Chain A
Amino acid sequence: MSSEEGAAVAPYIPVTTSSVLMSANKHFAHFCRAQNKAFLDCKRADPNPEKCLHKGLDVTSCTLSVLKELHEKCPKEMDAYAKCMDYYGNEFKLCRKQQQEFENACPLKA
């Protein structure tokens, strides 16, 4: 059913299941490298959760923004890959076809 005129479309909230995260791991490693490193350095210095909350917020927002961008650019390939990973318990070698399609559709250098 098509959306009516003037109806507000709900903003996309990424679902961060393990299969989705594992599917997009290369994008996280590439786009959120600085935030991840800063957070891990903070944790290594002081494991107290209260001390690294702000850096953790950076990490979370970066991850969610990457997922939103992937949803905009290549939703079908991303969903297919995540579904395959979910089916096979996050085994990369069983989802090579979907992985290839996903990486062709949403390359890392974009």
Chain B
Amino acid sequence: MTELLIRRRKGMTSVKEMPVLQDGPPPGGFPAIRYARRIPNSGPGGVVIFLVASSVVSYGLYQVGQGNRKRRAYKQEKFEARKAILPFIQAEEDARFVREKQKYLEEEARIMANVPGWKVGESVYHTKKWRPPAARRIYADYQ
């Protein structure tokens, strides 16, 4: 019934006289659609692009080198400072070590006083070179 309401014409005598209602193009047709490629051949060529890219890369690498120089200078300053301070710290530690070693030898002498043939502070090595004291604990199950 809605078809009749939409497509009705004056002077119709039958449903077969209703005009055809189609969805079609506007009068004059649709405008033309562009589907052809349009890639222009203008702009910088390959040589120019290569030169620009290589200059950017070179500038970056130059900055890397400058940064490395700066970092090396910082490192050198730090190491020079450490070199200047090292003897003082080593001297302090030596004095402390010798004091502690004296106390330790006295304690050892006191403990091993009754053991015959015990040499206090005897080195466990055959060499006469200075060996730092061994710092590992000795466990009972050490293989």
Q: How many residues belonging to A are interface residues under a CB distance threshold of 8 Å?
A: 29
Interface residues of chain A: helix, strand, loop or mixed (majority): helix
Contact partner of B77 among A39, A49, A92, CB < 8 A?
A92
Whether B85 lies near A39 (C-beta < 8 A) is: no
- A56 near B81 with CB under 8 A, answer no
Contact A56:B130 (CB < 8 A) given known A25-B85, A49-B98: no
Most buried by B among A21, A49, A50: A49
- Interfacial residues of chain A within 34-66, with CB under 8 A of chain B in the complex: 35-36, 39-40, 43, 46-50, 52-53, 55-57, 59-60, 63
- A36 with B84, Cβ < 8 A, contacts A52-B94, A92-B74 known: yes
Contact size range, B: 20 to 34
B127 within 8 A of A: no
- Please tell me if A74 contacts chain B, counting CB pairs below 8 Å: no
> Do B74 and A56 have beta carbons less than 8 Å apart?
no
Inter-subunit contact A50/B84 (CB<8 Å) = no
Interchain CB contact under 8 A, A21 and B88: yes
Chain B residues with Cβ below 8 Å from A32 are 87
User: Which B residues touch A55, using CB under 8 A?
Assistant: 91
Cα distance A71–B101 when bound, in Å?
34
Residues of A with C-beta under 8 A to B74: 92-93
Contact B84 A29 (CB under 8 A): yes
Residues of A within 8 Å of B84, CB to CB, are 25-26, 28-29, 36
B88 lies within 8 A of A59 (CB): yes
Q: Does A106 sit within 8 A of B, measured CB to CB?
A: no
Minimal Cβ-Cβ distance residue in A for B102: A50
Within the complex, what minimum Cβ distance (angstroms) separates A55 from chain B?
8
Contact present for A21 and B94 (CB under 8 Å):
no
Query: Could you write out 18 A-B pairs with CB less than 8 Å apart?
Result: A21-B88, A22-B81, A28-B85, A36-B84, A36-B88, A39-B91, A47-B130, A48-B130, A49-B94, A49-B95, A49-B97, A49-B98, A50-B101, A59-B87, A59-B91, A60-B91, A60-B95, A92-B78
- Across the A-B interface, the 4 shortest Cβ-Cβ residue pairs: A56-B91, A25-B81, A49-B94, A48-B130
